[in-house]
Amino acid sequence: MTAASTPVRASLFVTCIIDQLYPDVGESVVGLLRRLGVDLDFPSAQTCCGQPAFNAGFWSDAKPLARRTIELLQHDRYVVAPSGSCASMMRVFYAELFHDEPRMRAPIASLAARTFELSEFIVDILGITDLSAYAYADADAPKRKVTYHEGCHLRRELGVLTQPRALIDSLPGIELVEMEQSEVCCGFGGTFSVKYPEISGAMLADKLDFAAKTGADAIAACDSSCLMHIGGGLQKQGIGIEPLHIAELLDRATRPN
């Protein structure tokens, strides 16, 4: 499938962790979406969506951040977030955060209807499930084995199950190898990993073991927070698996040589 003749208009909500720690992921998102024909902009005044404070129970601190995000993104564009957790915050939890402010219902509903995680946006809004037409693969090179980790919010709040897999599996230079318990939390969970490090570490150990058993040389996910946790464990244990945000994987595969 080719990109639409009339570009779909969208704004990138880049997320704090990508902005501060993984800017290359943000660049991959921009390159990929523009390659797919999206008219993409970046509201530079954006800040944290308020999720960390909300999850920690500090709703009074989360509200100003959330209110700012809602006001900034009140326009006629889609909003694309390369993070299931941030997309969930805006699409699902803003309504809970502002349950006692009726005047916020309409702008929250408007934002929720237009907000999508990256892979979900490509498949469900752009209607692209097969990226092979966009891919640049060396026919003589061996396929790269990639396994996939499902972020908790991606499955639980957004119901995004098949979209990332369809995109990864469509790449001619990639072999998608499913790992055992791919849907189980990696143990990060934001402040969970700080409050309960022993439990978090045990969950991470299981995830690393399942990933290693696949024989994959890369593990992809849709949230940089999960990949930060998993990547740290892989490096510490000397496991030769590269952590890759799905945006990086798709961008690399479709970027002209």
Model confidence, pTM = 0.93
* Percent of the chain predicted with pLDDT > 90: 87
C-beta separation of 24 from 94 below 8 A: no
Instruction: Read off φ and ψ for residue 35, nearest 5 degrees.
Output: -65, -30
pLDDT of 2 strictly over 70 = no
Q: What is the reported pLDDT for 39? A: 98
The secondary structure of the chain, three-state, reads CCCCCCCCEEEECCCHHHHHCCHHHHHHHHHHHHHCCCEEECCCCCCCCCHHHHHCCCHHHHHHHHHHHHHHCCCCCEEEECCHHHHHHHHHHHHHHCCCCHHHHHHHHHHHHHEEEHHHHHHHHCCCCCCHHHCCCCCCCCCEEEEECCCHHHHHCCCCCCHHHHHHHCCCCEEECCCCCCCCCCCCCCCHHHHCHHHHHHHHHHHHHHHHHCCCCEEEECCHHHHHHHHHHHHHHCCCCEEEEHHHHHHHHHCCC
- Res 101 pLDDT > 60: yes
Confidence check: pLDDT of 256 > 90:
no
Predicted local distance difference test score (pLDDT) of residue 139: 65
| pLDDT reported for residue 5 | 62
- Residue 196: per-residue pLDDT: 86
Q: Dump pLDDT digits (tens) for 12-59.
A: 999 999 999 999 999 999 999 999 999 999 999 999 999 999 999 999
Rounded to whole angstroms, the Cα distance separating 61 from 22 reads 25
pLDDT at residue 136, as a whole number: 86
